[in-house]
Structure 1
Amino acid sequence: MKKYAYIGALGFLAVITTEFGIIGILPQIADHYHISIDKAGYLLSAFALIIALTGPFMTLLASGFDRKKVMLTAIAIFLVTAIVSSLSPPFWLLLTVRILPAFLQPVYIATALSVAILKGGKKNENELMSIVFSGVAIAMVTTVPFATYIASLYSWTYSFTIQAIVSIIALLAIYFAIPPLPIKEKKSYGSQMKILTKPIFMVSTAMNFFMVSAWFSTYSYFAEYLNKAKNMDSTMVSYMLFVFGIIGVIANWVAGKMLNRNITFTTAFFLSGTLIIPLLLYFSDGNMFATVCTIALWGFLYSPSFLNASTYMISSAPEALEFANSLATSFGNLGVTLGTTIGGWIIVSKGIEFSSWLTMAFGFLAFLMIALRQFLEKRGTTNQITAVQCTQQ
């Protein structure tokens, strides 16, 4: 049944609206609090850092609880955060309440994926995961640009009101549509943590980290980049986010189908954007048509990144799906932190136009990790064949 995957996607929509809805209003927040854009970026990087540091541990701790209650608790905290943020609190309080839901974000994602697969069937695993992760792309085409547009018309605080509304809808859907799902047999912490000893899994984790770092070194400052480098106003930026998101919805559907055929090729195909997009952004210069086309391609190649990263990592550790996915979320968000932090530093010290080249550097490192995993897998296969031949002799 795909119903549970779609409910998981709705909750993911609330999660992503809260985490990334901030991107389109960072310049307004910086102006309101009289701080630099890189300091406003802490609202994104601190959120991601908490996920990176606590995600796997929180997921392990929550692994013994009823999955429905876990999902409800996570979304409820996102709702509280949105409500407090909409009241325009002091910056320190805004930063504090932004951090709170980060503790349960990877727990929600891992739980939503496990519920979708549990109820939908293992054979459709990648397709069901793509449905859940479509919440990311849908947020990019609906709530994130809409919240940015509303903020451009009225005030940045209205963006958080939109986030609160989405969280309420997700909360109601989970409460009424998902039955209680108590854990019948809890896996031991040790059995799940064994995947940390697998070189192929750790290399896959590094690929995830570098790939997300690559994308977010520029995407975190999407509004600032288009404002300064491409001379777009806030309303135009909201339109670009809309274009970005529409293409992203299609990209997630395409990626889901491609992953069922070849996980490594699909991951590398979409990762190629980290090398292509910086060049296109540079050569598009002041040409509006070329810039819009580049943003559309950017949305297509970027949007399935979290789906690709999770699938790529889980494929190397299928025996511990939830823990592997929590690590994918954590290291992905560590990549968000690194990309946002270094990207902000580049913008302040060198200029906004240099941030996209950082994307290319991190993208190259991610490709190296894919090549290293291919090498390790081939060596492992060769060793197995040799061992079998020796046994037969």
Structure 2
Amino acid sequence: MKRYAYIGCLGFIAVITTEFGVIGILPQVAEHYNISIDKAGYLLSAFALIIALTGPFMTLLTSGFDRKKIMLTAIFMFLITGFVSSFSPPFWLLMLVRILPAFLQPVYIATALSVAVSEADHGQKNELMGIVFNGVAIAMVTTVPFATWAAGLWSWEYSFMIQTLVSLAALIVIYFLLPSMPVKEKKSYGNQIRILKQTPFVFSTLTNFFMITAWFSTYSYFADYLNKAKGMDPSMVSYMLLLFGIIGVFANGAAGKMLNRNVAGTTAVFLSGTLIIPLLLYVSDGNIWATITVIGIWGSLYSPSFLNASTYMISSAPDSLEFANSLATSFGNLGVTLGTTIGGWVIVTKGVEYTPWIGFVFGLLAFLMMALKEMSEKRSRVVSTCEN
């Protein structure tokens, strides 16, 4: 039922606006608190680390609860975060309220995806998941650049005010338009964690991890990179985020349809951006129009990354949708943490212009994991054929 997918998408917009809305304002936050840019990056990496460490466990613990109540609770936590953060509290408190909703972020995503495909035919599932994940691209084209623009026009606190309003809208829509959805049959923990013993699933998980690490080593410092490496002011950066997101919306829709036909091939196509974009950014140098073109290509290849990563992992564990999704979210955010951390270290020690090359290295590792997964699956098919 597409209505459920669109409701999940709206909540995803709130989630992404809160998690990634800080990317465009990290330089202002660093200046306000008189800290380095890599320390300001903890607002993103700490959030992602909590998700990485607790995501699967929280999803297992909440798997028996009414799905509507889970989604409402999660979005309410995001609302509280935006509200408190908008008052520019001490940095330790800002960090604390930032990480609290992180405990429920993977729970929300896994639940929203499960709700979206709950009444769908098998052939529609990837497309409906694509609608939910379009929340990432829509946030990149609307709320994230708007929050960055507002921060540049007034102050960084306005970015968090916008996050609060988006969360409030999502909370209202879920409360009034989503029916109560109690879990009819709770799967045992043993049945769900069994997928961790499957070699193809392990390689798909590592593919996800390296893929997201590759993208976020540069994307986490998008504003800082465009400012220092490409000479763009905050206003221009907000326009680039807008362009990034507009193209991403279309890319996400295309990826959803492509995944219905070939999951591995689609994942490889978009993953190729981790190798292509560093080269194009280097070649574009200081040419503004060339840089804008590269940013457009960057947005088209990056935006479906979470959708591709989740679908790629689920394809290896079709009977454990929610748990596999939570692991995809968890390892994806572990990738966000590692990418942000390494990117921050490179900025401090070498310079922001070197961050895309981190993505190049991790992109190669992701392709290696895809190859190993394919080899593992072929070996399993050969063994199965011989036994029969």
Deviation at 1:150, TM superposition (A): 0.5
Determine the C-alpha separation between the residues in 2 that align with 1:130 and 1:184.
25
The alignment-based identity, stated in percent, is 72
* Amino acid in the other structure paired with 2:384: Q
- Kindly provide the amino acid, as one letter, of the partner of residue 67 in structure 1: R
Structure 2-normalised TM-score?
0.99
- Give 1:170 deviation, angstroms: 0.3
Inter-partner Cα distance in structure 1 for 2:193 and 2:358: 33
Aligned residue in 2 for 1:303: 303
CA shift digits 1:270-318 (9 cap, x unpaired): 0000000000001100000100000000000000000000000000001
Per the alignment, residue 157 of structure 1 pairs with 157
User: What corresponds to 1:171 in structure 2?
Assistant: 171
Q: Quote the residue 2:86 is aligned against.
A: 86
Amino acid at match of 2:380: G
Aligned pairs (5 A) from 1:1-393:
1-388=1-388
Task: Give the letter aligned to residue 16 of structure 1.
Answer: I
Q: What amino acid does structure 2 have at the position aligned with 1:238? A: S
Secondary structure, aligned partner of 2:316: coil
Moved more, 379-388 or 329-338: 379-388
Structure 2: segments with no counterpart, 5+ residues:
none
For residues 129 and 351 of structure 1, the distance between their equivalents in structure 2, rounded to whole angstroms, comes to: 38
> What is the deviation of 1:384?
1.3
| 3-state SS, counterpart of residue 209 of structure 2 | helix
Deviation, 1:89, is 0.2
Q: 2: distance between equivalents of 1:147 and 1:373?
A: 40
CA contact (8 A) 1:4 1:119 kept: no
Q: Which amino acid aligns with 2:348?
A: V
Letter in 2 for 1:275: L
**Deviation string for 1:250-279 (max 9, x for gaps)?**
000010010000000000000000000000
* Distance apart, 1:348 and its partner CA: 0.3
Partner in structure 2 of residue 391 of structure 1: none
Q: CA deviation at 1:347?
A: 0.4
Q: Distance in 2 between matches of 1:326 and 1:53?
A: 11
AA aligned opposite 1:335: G
Q: How far off is 1:14 after superposition?
A: 0.2
Q: Is the 8 A contact 1:142 1:245 kept in 2?
A: yes
**Residues of 1 paired with 2:189 and 2:74: CA distance?**
22
Letter in 1 for 2:192: Q
- The one-letter amino acid paired with 2:281 is L
Paired AA for residue 128 in structure 1: L
User: SS at 1:83's partner residue?
Assistant: helix
| SS state at 2:119 partner | helix
What root-mean-square deviation, in Å, do the aligned CA atoms of Structure 1 and Structure 2 show? 0.5
What secondary structure is seen at the aligned counterpart in 2 of 1:118? coil
Gaps of 5+ in 1: 389-393
Q: Distance in 2 between matches of 1:254 and 1:114?
A: 21
When structure 1 is superposed on structure 2, of 378-387 and 82-91 the one drifting more is: 378-387
Structure 1 distance, partners of 2:124, 2:276, is 32
What is the alpha-carbon distance in structure 2 between the residues aligned to residue 341 and residue 282 of structure 1? 22
1:152-211 CA distance string (max 9 Å, x none): 000000000000000010001100011100111110101100000001101100000000
Contact 1:51 1:102 (C-alpha < 8 Å) held by counterparts = yes
Q: Distance between the aligned counterparts of 2:307 and 2:365, measured in 1? A: 19
| Structure-1 separation of matches of 2:203 and 2:378 | 14
Is residue 75–residue 170 contact of structure 1 (8 Å, CA) maintained in 2?
yes
Letter in 2 for 1:386: C
Bigger shift: residues 100-109 or 379-388: 379-388
Contact 2:123 2:260 in 1 (8 A): no
Task: Provide the C-alpha distance between the structure 1 equivalents of 2:99 and 2:215, rounded to a whole number of angstroms.
Answer: 22
C-alpha separation in 2, matches of 1:378 and 1:312:
17
